[in-house]
Amino acid sequence: MTSKSGTAVAEQLPALGKTSYWTRLRKDLHKNHQVYLMIIPVILYYLIFCYKPMYGALIAFQDYNPLNANILDNKWVGFANFLEFFQGRYFWRLIKNTLTISLASTIVGFPIPIIFALLINEIKNKKFTKIVQTMSYMPHFISIVIVCSMIISFTNANGFLNTLFTHLGYSGKPMLSNPDLFVPIYVISGIWQGLGWDSILYIAALSGIDQELYEAASIDGASRWQQMLHITLPGIAPTIVTMFILRMGGLMNVGYEKVILLYSPITYSSADVISSYVYRMGIERMNYSFSTAVGLFNSAINIFLLFITNRFSKKISDTSLF
Amino acid sequence: MHIKESRSRKAFMVFDYVLMVAITLICIYPFLYVVFASFSDPAELMKFNGALLSPRGFTLAGYQEVFKKKDIISGYSNTILITVTGTVINIVMTALGAYFLSRRDVVLKVPVMIFIMITMYISGGMIPSYLNIRSLGLYQSYWALILPGAVSTMNLIIMRTAFQSIPESLEEAAILDGASHMTILFRIILPLSKATVAVLVLYYALGHWNDWFGPMIYLQGTPEKYPLQLILRNMLIDNQNINSASGGTDQFLLFEVIKYVVIVISTVPMLIFYPFVQKYFEKGVMIGGVKG
């Protein structure tokens, strides 16, 4: 992005001679005034709905009072809200649950779309693969409310999954009121939702591998397995690394929607994550300053993780996001 | 040696095909189950615990009951209203932003780009955004669902990339003819980027169609404004019976079937469009993936 615009500016420079930036800007505002008018709604959108809430996050350091029209009139309390969270009884539980759900989803859920892509790539019947792919994307488009209501109904006392597991020795209790089962249910349903969709990029990368490499390798006597290790995997490695960075960057970022729809006070002990806690404290209990502090703490960690993983991957593989 | 390899290859291919068929079935079976259950006789469904392979008994009672419900009908029309208005605003706003960012010659392009990109990494968070909506007076209004996500930065970048690939000569010709930039954008650039616009329309529309969290926190206390997903959430997750006035075992049993019926009728529009549009979604992942 920067390099491209850099050349664009450089192209203009000779024509404009030594004119300063401000002169050029003034001329440009005049010449392109229509274009600048068109961007105003977009700028306003970002100011009002993205930057203003960033400013509003200052209440994390305050004792927020909804009656104050100007948030600067609130009482400043420094890091008191953060300390309250760190010392509170739920801090470690939230960290543990967030990490558990996220790591379990990554360890189980990350390789599966890759394996799926590799297996579907072996099948040369295009009609067949098209049907399989189309069907496998479907769960991704179903609203999360519907997905969760299906999970609830299938794992209920007389749901078919519950019945199935009862035959295998499960007690038959509604599965979602068992704290031990929340993470498996969350992770497995997540795989069901994302299996096909998450494989799209890998399938695309696989189809981009030069077929001549395979022909050359098989003439040299490489087995299918060797071809896969030495041609296929290196071919999709950059995609895998990029997806992995994204995953790691979002390690402490477990979305609240599915958790809120599936959990209940009985399963808070394993299901409550930072984002669902922010929702409960903030929107349900109207503890605005405290929940903003918790959310801010979470985003700070997220940004930190994103930079670390990006840096790390730059070092090991020359692949990076920014 | 050669024969042995081809035999193991054959075994592998059989395994591969079987696995793929199994995955396909796992992906669609939950929907089939729901469809079968929605046509089942409530009492028989209650007795049956296994995996349905066809409806148990057959009745349309659930469907008849659901189509009498005013809130489901109004939920449907509210969802359509929000989705259509929201998506139009999304596309217009995204196009305006993308047009600016795709131009070579504007001096402020880089600062504006940075101003926008920052929001991909930093945000105020759930609570400050919620308080922002309240302080803007958008609480309990549909604008609270439409304006806060009016532009998605990711989609903006996708559209900018599409605009950049259009030859500038077209634009220069239009300018010589005295066309304004608005005309160029909406009459020339946008129609030429049809494929990308289609992808973004689908992304935005799906987001509005499936949204339940926004309505839940912003439309509280105005049930007549609830979109379908929120009504479904209250019924299916919170188990709020929509006709709780008349209790009784029959009603209770029927409610179990009604749950499946509402899943079916809320998912059917999606499933009808799905085969036609899924290739655009797939394309969207590619464009986004290449950029990201």
The phi-psi region of residue B51 (left if phi > 0; otherwise alpha if psi is between -120 and 50; otherwise beta) is beta
Query: What is the average per-residue pLDDT within B7-22?
Result: 92
For residue B149, the SS3 value is coil
pLDDT confidence of residue A247 = 86
pTM of the full predicted structure? 0.89
- Give tens-digit pLDDT for B123-159: 999 999 999 999 999 999 999 999 999 999 999 999 9
- Give tens-digit pLDDT for A6-23: 445 544 555 555 678 889
Q: In this structure, what token pair is assigned to residue A191?
A: 């795989």
Residue A271 clears pLDDT 80, i.e. is over it: yes
pLDDT confidence of residue A281 = 96
Query: What is the average per-residue pLDDT within A295-313?
Result: 89
Task: Look at the block and give the residue holding tokens 């730059």.
Answer: A314
Neighbours of B277 (CB within 10 A): 17
Task: Look at the block and give the residue holding tokens 């919170």.
Answer: B238
pLDDT confidence of residue A60 = 96
- Cα gap B144→B263, rounded to integer Å: 26
CA–centroid distance for B137 within its chain? 26
Interface of A with B in 183-222 (CB under 8 A): 192, 195-197, 200-201, 204
- Cα gap A258→A144, rounded to integer Å: 7
Q: In this structure, what token pair is assigned to residue A266?
A: 């009985």
DSSP A219: H
C-alpha pair distances (Å), B137 with each of A250, B89, B130, B141, B204: 33, 19, 11, 8, 24
Of A120, A201, A296, the CB nearest to B125: A296
Each domain of chain A, given as residue ranges in start order, spans 84-317
CA dihedral A132, A136, A142, A147 (to 10 degrees): 130
Closest CA–CA distance from residue B229 to any residue of chain A (Å): 7
Q: Decide if A174 touches B, using CB distance below 8 A.
A: no
Interface of A with B in 293-322 (CB under 8 A): 295-296, 298-299, 303, 306, 321
Number of residue pairs across A and B with CB atoms under 8 Å?
252
CB contact under 8 A, A24 and B107: yes
Of A24, A139, A160, the CB nearest to B33: A160
Of B112, B128, B270, the CB nearest to A53: B128
Of B93, B131, B206, the CB nearest to A42: B93
Q: Which residues of B touch A137 (CB under 8 A)?
A: 278, 281-282
Residue A134, CB-side half-sphere exposure with 13 Å CA sphere:
15
A84-317: which CATH number, 1.10.3720.10, 3.40.50.970, 3.10.20.600, 1.10.760.10?
1.10.3720.10
- Cα gap B111→A68, rounded to integer Å: 34
| Bridge partners (DSSP) listed for residue A75 | A63
Closest CA–CA distance from residue A58 to any residue of chain B (Å): 9
Neighbours of A26 (CB within 10 A): 13
pLDDT band at A92 (very low <50, low <70, confident <90, very high): very high
Domains and CATH numbers, chain B: 2-68+241-291 (no CATH), 70-223 (1.10.3720.10)
CB contact under 8 A, B126 and A145: no
Closest CA–CA distance from residue A100 to any residue of chain B (Å): 22
Query: What is the average per-residue pLDDT within A213-241?
Result: 89
Worst-scoring range by mean pLDDT, A56-60, A73-77, A121-125, B236-240?
Answer: B236-240
DSSP A151: H
Q: Check: CB of residue B218 under 8 Å from CB of residue B139.
A: yes
